[in-house]
Amino acid sequence: MALRVLVPSTELAEAVRGPGIEVAVWHIDDDESAPPAADVLITERPRHHVNRPRVRDVAGLRHVHLLSIGYEWVLDHLPAGATLSNSRGAVEDATAEHGLALILASLRRLPAAAAQQRERRWAPLWSTSLHGSNVLVLGHGGVGREVCARLEPFRPASIVPVASHARTTGDGVQVHAAPELPGLLPRADVVVVTLPHTPDTEHLVDAAFLARMHDGALLVNIGRGAVVDMDALVAELAAGRLRAALDVTDPEPLPAEHALWDAPGCLVTPHMAGNTAEFVRLASELAAEQVRRLATGRTPLHLVG
């Protein structure tokens, strides 16, 4: 009997198709019709929160493979007995690269320069820089490690990774523990959030956290929007005390009337850090490998949950 697989695009259908594999295209956001029965669902993270429970609508579902690292959104919607895997190894580089772009654009005032270009106004700007800055990276998983690696060539004064528990990595990097944050934050010129959304991380970056950051410091979030208390951040931005560069927000999509759009010193991108052609290639190759493994009774890679 063929393995029935649902994928979100015709391009991915071509990548995973093979002997003993029956492929259908169904997108969790874009298809209003009920999904066909399937053994395997390959899906993106829904753009709209209300569509997350649709995973449960797939009759016969035995495995879900996510085209992302983050998997917290799907845990409450997995059918009993279904296994889950993610695209670890495919998206970390793209996300870290976007994080670095946000840092550089914000520190070097590229949004202000772009505004001057639109006005055809030549007025050289002064800025801060990564060179000589103290950078705190919150989270030392795949994305956090890749962010740290990309920071090194810019010669910051320090790169301080922080995770739930202190440890020294195999290559000698000292990772600090989350309880050390009150003492670490006042020195940080840039704070990069790479954390997933869990009960422990929700609103970790709250008013007290932000208050410990020094005037003019930059908060960058490429993790999950709910890690940051958006009301507290908007208050700091409105006061002109902090800057922010956000690829993720809470809620998403960000409503047109939300204060973040016009907040001073805030750069917003629409959750696009992983959206690169190279990510698509790597994620497609991984999805095809997952399907081949499932079709031949082998254990999928990167099981989570």
Confidence at residue 175, expressed as pLDDT on a 0 to 100 scale: 97
Domain that holds residue 80: 3-90+276-304
Do 249 and 210 sit in the same domain of this protein? Answer: yes
pLDDT band at 237 (very low <50, low <70, confident <90, very high): very high
Q: Are 5 and 42 in contact (CB under 8 A)?
A: yes
Residue 305 has a pLDDT of: 75
Please report, rounded to a whole number, the percentage of residues in the chain having pLDDT higher than 90: 97
Average pLDDT of 257-286?
Answer: 97
Say whether both 195 and 68 belong to one domain. no
Provide mean pLDDT across the span 157-170: 96
Residues 101 and 245 placed together within one structural domain of the fold: yes
pLDDT, mean of residues 233-242 = 98
How many folded domains does the chain comprise? 2
Answer yes or no: do 74 and 216 share one domain: no
Q: What pLDDT digit, counting tens, does each position of 116-147 carry?
A: 999 999 999 999 999 999 999 999 999 999 99
Res 155: pLDDT: 98
Give residue-wise pLDDT tens across range 74-117.
999 999 999 999 999 999 999 999 999 999 999 999 999 999 99
> By mean pLDDT, which of 169-173, 194-198, 242-246 is the weakest?
169-173
pLDDT of res. 54: 98
234 and 298 both lie in a single domain: no
Residues recognised as catalytic: 224, 252, 271
User: What CATH number is attached to the domain comprising 245?
Assistant: 3.40.50.720
Residues 28, 128 within the same domain: no
Residues 245 and 174 reside in one and the same domain = yes
For residues 54 and 195, state if they share a domain: no
Confidence of residue 1 (pLDDT cuts 50, 70, 90): confident
User: How does the average pLDDT of the chain come out, rounded?
Assistant: 97
Which of the pair, 49 or 119, is modelled with greater confidence? 119
- Residue 201 confidence (pLDDT): 96
Three state DSSP letters for the chain:
CCEEEEECCHHHHHHHCCCCEEEEECCCCCCCCCCCCCCEEEECCCCCHHHHHHHHHCCCCCEEEECCCCCHHHHHHCCCCCEEECCCCCCHHHHHHHHHHHHHHHHCCHHHHHHHHHCCCCCCCCCCCCCCCEEEEECCCHHHHHHHHHHHHHCCCEEEEEECCCEECCCCCEEEEHHHHHHHHHHCCEEEECCCCCCCCCCCECHHHHHHCCCCCEEEECCCHHHECHHHHHHHHHCCCCEEEECCCCCCCCCCCCHHHHCCCEEECCCCCCCCHHHHHHHHHHHHHHHHHHHCCCCCCCEEC
User: Do 193 and 225 reside in the same domain of the chain?
Assistant: yes
Residue 124 is encoded by which pair of tokens? Answer: 């050289």
Has residue 286 got a pLDDT over 80?
Answer: yes
Mean pLDDT of 147-174: 96
- At residue 37, does pLDDT exceed 90? yes
Give the global pTM.
Answer: 0.94
Q: Are residues 103 and 228 in the same domain?
A: yes
Q: Quick one: 28 and 41 in the same domain? A: yes
Please tell me the predicted confidence (pLDDT) of residue 146. 98
> What is the C-alpha to C-alpha distance for residues 28 and 25, in angstroms, rounded to an integer?
10
The answer to whether residues 262 and 280 belong to one domain is no
Mean local confidence (pLDDT), 173-200: 97
